[in-house]
Amino acid sequence: MGSMYRASKTLKSSRQAFSILFNSLKSTRQTPTCFGLYQAYGFSSDSRQSSKEPTIDLTKFPSEKIRNFSIIAHIDHGKSTLADRLMELTGTIKKGHGQPQYLDKLQVERERGITVKAQTATMFYENKVEDQEASGYLLNLIDTPGHVDFSYEVSRSLSACQGALLVVDAAQGVQAQTVANFYLAFEANLTIVPVINKIDQPTADPERVKAQLKSMFDLNTDDVLLVSAKTGLGLEHVLPAVIERIPPPPGISDSPLRMLLFDSFFNEYKGVICYVSVVDGMLSKGDKVSFAASGQSYEVLDVGIMHPELTSTGVLLTGQVGYIVTGMRTTKEARIGDTIYRTKTTVEPLPGFKPVRHMVFSGVYPADGSDFEALSHAIEKLTCNDASVSVAKETSTALGMGFRCGFLGLLHMDVFHQRLEQEYGTQVISTIPTVPYTFEYSDGSKLQVQNPAALPSNPKYRVTASWEPTVIATIILPSEYVGAVINLCSDRRGYASFDYEDAEYQASDLVKLDILLNGQAVDALATIVHKQKAYRVGKELVEKLKNYIERQMFEVMIQAAIGSKIIARDTISAMRKNVLAKCYGGDITRKKKLLEKQKEGKKRMKRVGSVDIPHEAFQQILKVS
């Protein structure tokens, strides 16, 4: 790679423009299986049933013997592999455990080879300093996702840490998410330990990467650790550096208990499991605790650490990170960022987390309308493990009852759908993702729209102005590609796995594009587009729909319209389809089978007016750029 070029560019970008990236990221969907939740969330079969006495004595680890750190990096720079090696080195997992990237526990993570959930592991390590006796330390490691859509996971994880290993690929050097994650850690006042990984690669150039770290982040080149998480080279220096450079957690052990609820998940047997970091004081099993935001109180039924599976310890001390089980039944009671304290004491609540700003909204509907309740339960449980999704009920004439969900980006949205399928066996139809737009009418009123269907097609007052959100995007690339990337940016109105932050709304010429079937608008297919693109998008939508809608007993007219103006149209001619035609009136079982098959087929259809639309049509429309 040549010299680095760093461009900050305000990209007028509705996230629709990310669809190329999104499509390339869409994994091959596999037959949904209900993934073993115990495995996914680190319950060994032991910890499910046994009330074994804790064997780990955490009282041996006062704050000065604790280090809490995250591993942060750009995608694929080797965080999870490094986490594996550190866990092996400390005996937390066995060498050759047969499952690389151990902390990537979700099926979606293993299939896509990316981390989407931050995972914590507690390790015990004997640190030997020359001429001194070895001393035992408790190290909490949090492996974090690299993709920008999951940066909320990173920022929450950092709140439970005092330091971070900033991992950089020795060949690729500093990339967009290296920069973004560095600043997240820097702003959180964490001590940063730079680690150049993959030095075993033939194209590795650690000296160049060291120079980047110095020039971009002012990190001292002498402090940079050189490792290969693959071969184990240089790894022996990592944990001593963590202990030496990262400060212990600053809490006060004889102050009243204060804990931060930084993550949670739902377990069918135990209810909600809360991941906590003990800021002050200590907690024991049987204690009564209250949650500041929800106002609820509970008895602590189990308390322990992630070692790396949930392991009861009976206590958690100041500075430690672990889990608590309280018998909490509904996921709504666990509000991420909440402060937990001992009931009947008064404490200052912790600052919690910045509210999430959702970038992309889409409707999520059960593929079979009757599964609404199942979808509702699945979403409730999944959002317990992914607090960055917003959920509100909505109804569509075409798709029935469902939810409007807000996501941090298109990859996040896609992963959420995949988790619904894989972990809860729920098949969903999602509507075209949209960013939130604002419209102003001639009477001076303004409308914020997260769902294109909610925008009147023929409003009472004329639209006088419209705005779309923008981002400040940072693209890091070798200088020889600058021209090509700038062209790509202006053409796609925003593209790449770059980093971005919210900027203000900008005026933009937006219109609502309706899709009509035999004159009736399909609310689930409505979209808001730029006026100049409306004709092309309308034509594409009509063509795609034509390919997916089968011939029916009558003619079907497909139209794209802006208000009352039709901008594209096509027709599917009528066909009489009699499934029993080939039965010659004889075999009754065969007749029944065919009718059953037809009924099944109908179930996979959504009816708009008199027209049946297959589920696939809705899924495929997502792919329109």
Ligand X SMILES: Nc1nc2c(ncn2[C@@H]2O[C@H](COP(=O)(O)OP(=O)(O)OP(=O)(O)O)[C@@H](O)[C@H]2O)c(=O)[nH]1
Q: Does 101 bind ligand X (CB under 6 A)?
A: yes
Q: Does 79 bind ligand X (CB under 6 A)?
A: yes
Contacting ligand X (CB under 6 A), which of 14, 43, 142, 146? 146
Q: Does 404 bind ligand X (CB under 6 A)?
A: no
Contacting ligand X (CB under 6 A), which of 219, 229, 360, 513? 229
CA 488 to chain centre: 26
> Is 200 marked as binding a ligand?
yes
* Interface region with ligand X, contact rule CB under 6 A, candidates 30-38, 222-230, 493-501, 555-563: 222-230
CB nearer to ligand X: give 40 or 453.
40
Q: Does 197 bind ligand X (CB under 6 A)?
A: yes
Contacting ligand X (CB under 6 A), which of 67, 77, 404, 615? 77
Q: Does 198 bind ligand X (CB under 6 A)?
A: yes
Residue where the block lists tokens 């075409």: 398
> Is 143 marked as binding a ligand?
yes
Any residues with CB less than 8 A from the CB of 73 and at least 6 apart, and which? 79, 146, 166, 167, 168, 169, 177, 178, 181, 197
Give the DSSP letter of residue 434. Answer: B
CB nearer to ligand X: give 71 or 608.
71
In whole angstroms, the minimum distance from the beta carbon of 142 to ligand X comes to: 12
> Is 78 marked as binding a ligand?
yes
> Is 509 marked as binding a ligand?
no
Give dist(CA 274, CA 326) in Å, integer.
Answer: 8
CA 192 to chain centre: 24
Q: Does 543 bind ligand X (CB under 6 A)?
A: no
Q: Which of 620, 544, 527 is nearest to 14 (CA)?
A: 527
Contacting ligand X (CB under 6 A), which of 47, 63, 102, 145? 145
> Is 75 marked as binding a ligand?
yes
> Is 499 marked as binding a ligand?
no
* Interface region with ligand X, contact rule CB under 6 A, candidates 228-236, 333-341, 448-456, 545-553: 228-236
CB nearer to ligand X: give 115 or 418.
115
Q: Are 257 and 273 a contacting pair, CB within 8 Å? A: no
> Is 50 marked as binding a ligand?
no
**Helices (DSSP H) in 98-150: which residue ranges?**
107-112
Reduce the DSSP state of residue 481 to 3 states and report it.
Answer: helix
CB nearer to ligand X: give 201 or 625.
201
Give the pair of three-digit tokens for residue 273.
Answer: 């499991």
Reduce the DSSP state of residue 587 to 3 states and report it.
Answer: coil
CB nearer to ligand X: give 146 or 194.
146
In whole angstroms, the minimum distance from the beta carbon of 85 to ligand X comes to: 9
* Interface region with ligand X, contact rule CB under 6 A, candidates 68-76, 263-271, 385-393, 576-584: 68-76
DSSP β-bridge partners for residue 364: 403, 430
CB nearer to ligand X: give 230 or 492.
230
Contacting ligand X (CB under 6 A), which of 9, 65, 208, 230? 230
In whole angstroms, the minimum distance from the beta carbon of 533 to ligand X comes to: 33
> Is 198 marked as binding a ligand?
yes
Contacting ligand X (CB under 6 A), which of 12, 16, 78, 568? 78
Contacting ligand X (CB under 6 A), which of 62, 110, 200, 536? 200
Closest residue to ligand X in the complex (CB): 146
Torsion of CA 484, 489, 495, 498, to 10 degrees: 80
Give the pair of three-digit tokens for residue 68.
Answer: 């809490």
Strand ranges (E), 130-218: 135-143, 163-169, 191-197
> Is 615 marked as binding a ligand?
no
Q: Are 119 and 470 a contacting pair, CB within 8 Å? A: no
CB nearer to ligand X: give 79 or 512.
79
Q: Are 346 and 339 a contacting pair, CB within 8 Å? A: no
Contacting ligand X (CB under 6 A), which of 68, 70, 80, 311? 80
Give dist(CA 527, CA 361) in Å, integer.
Answer: 12
Q: Does 15 bind ligand X (CB under 6 A)?
A: no
> Is 144 marked as binding a ligand?
yes
Sign of CA dihedral 336, 339, 342, 345: negative
DSSP β-bridge partners for residue 434: 361
Q: Does 114 bind ligand X (CB under 6 A)?
A: yes
Q: Does 81 bind ligand X (CB under 6 A)?
A: yes
In whole angstroms, the minimum distance from the beta carbon of 82 to ligand X comes to: 7
In whole angstroms, the minimum distance from the beta carbon of 34 to ligand X comes to: 24
**Degrees to nearest 5, angle at CA 124 with 123 and 130:** 125
Give the DSSP letter of residue 591. Answer: H
Give the DSSP letter of residue 53. Answer: P
In whole angstroms, the minimum distance from the beta carbon of 226 to ligand X comes to: 10
How many residues bind ligand X (CB under 6 A)? The answer is 20
Any residues with CB less than 8 A from the CB of 349 and at least 6 apart, and which? 292, 293, 339
Contacting ligand X (CB under 6 A), which of 17, 76, 193, 437? 76
> Is 451 marked as binding a ligand?
no
Hey, how many other C-beta atoms are within 10 angstroms of the C-beta on 607? 12
CB nearer to ligand X: give 77 or 412.
77
Give dist(CA 407, CA 341) in Å, integer.
Answer: 31
DSSP β-bridge partners for residue 310: 306
Residue where the block lists tokens 């309740």: 373
In whole angstroms, the minimum distance from the beta carbon of 229 to ligand X comes to: 4
CB nearer to ligand X: give 13 or 101.
101
CB nearer to ligand X: give 227 or 276.
227
Q: Does 591 bind ligand X (CB under 6 A)?
A: no
Torsion of CA 328, 338, 138, 177, to 10 degrees: 120
Q: Are 243 and 127 a contacting pair, CB within 8 Å? A: yes
* Interface region with ligand X, contact rule CB under 6 A, candidates 14-22, 158-166, 198-206, 245-253: 198-206
Give dist(CA 316, CA 307) in Å, integer.
Answer: 13
Give the pair of three-digit tokens for residue 62.
Answer: 């006062």
Helix (H) or strand (E) holding 566: strand 565-572
Q: Does 173 bind ligand X (CB under 6 A)?
A: no
In whole angstroms, the minimum distance from the beta carbon of 206 to ligand X comes to: 12
Helix (H) or strand (E) holding 541: helix 531-548
Known binding residues for GTP are: 73-80, 143-147, 197-200
Annotated binding site: 73-80, 143-147, 197-200
- Point out which residues bind ligand X (CB under 6 A): 73, 75-81, 101, 114-115, 145-146, 197-198, 200-201, 228-230
